[in-house]
Structure 1
Amino acid sequence: MKLPLLAAAALAGPLAVAMASPVLAQDVTGLWQTQTNGGQVEIARCGNSLCGKLVNSDHIRADPGVKDAKNKDTALRDRPLKNMQMLYDFTGGPTKWTGGKVYNAADGGTYSGTITLTSANSLKLKGCIVAPFCKTETWTRIK
């Protein structure tokens, strides 16, 4: 009777690890393709939170020196869009981060945000002026 219990215990360990592995394997950091304007955003850890910078877009490909011309803060309108931080202060995990801010260069606005990792290669980014006035995009991981 002890042998089957030991065998069951031995199998439970790897099985438990295998069941947990998909969650552990899903890391939100990396390069992501946005849903609009051919954007590519690199999400990284910034201290205890997540942040993201715009590394490429249709506008950047057309003009690598394109500026943040629509920023509501006129002092920031001369900064380049390339490598500009557009996601910041997201906390939580391992599959949902909240409390962050999303900067939208298309209108110069900053919105409250949520990032939800829906699979290893897909996430949903939600930005809200004030709930329920929100927009959600699905981003795909670039391998």
Structure 2
Amino acid sequence: MAQMTPVGVWKSLDDKTGAPKSQVRISDHGGVLTGQVERVLREGADPQAVCDKCTDDRKDKPIVGLEIIRGAKQAEGKTVWEGGKILDPENGKTYTLRLTPVEGGSKLEVRGSIGPFGRTQTWVRVQ
């Protein structure tokens, strides 16, 4: 039985193809969540790739081990974590983040947005 929390290991899926992109570990540090890329799963991807499009302290850091989720906190009385940022290493942009466990915690809706525009990915918990 999965838990209704984003903490754990997740497989991120490509929005367009549904193919696995990466494996991300989300950890809780005193009520604040962070997430690091553990493995790149995309077929043909360079395992030594770096975030060359990043503009902050993550610039030119390896994708594997990269902290892509920072600062998310649980909304009071809800099973939603928000207030943090998520980085898309493919374009170097950071987005406002909302994490919502669904389907008993076996899946995670990951929404990144800038203003009124955004997109939601569904990640699958790795058992």
Q: For this structure pair, what is the TM-score category when the shorter chain's length is used for normalisation?
A: 0.7 to 0.9
Which position in structure 1 is the counterpart of 2:94? 110
Percentage of identical aligned residues: 27
Determine if the alignment matches structure 1 residue 123 to structure 2 residue 124: no
Alignment gaps of 5+ in structure 1: 1-21
Q: In angstroms, what is the RMSD of aligned CA positions? A: 2.3
Q: Which structure: greater helix fraction?
A: 1
Alignment gaps of 5+ in structure 2: 15-19
Taking the TM superposition and a 5 Å limit, the aligned residue runs for 1:66-105 are: 66-73=49-56, 76-92=58-74, 95-105=79-89
Q: How many residues align?
A: 119
Q: Which structure: greater strand fraction?
A: 2
Aligned counterpart for 1:64 among listed residues 30, 34, 47: 47
Determine if the alignment matches structure 1 residue 34 to structure 2 residue 17: no
Give, in angstroms, the shift of residue 59 of structure 1.
5.7
Q: Which has the higher contact order (CA 8 A, sep 6+)?
A: 2
Larger Rg: 1
Using the size of structure 1 for normalisation, the TM-score is: 0.73
Using the size of structure 2 for normalisation, the TM-score is: 0.82
Give, in angstroms, the shift of residue 39 of structure 1.
1.1
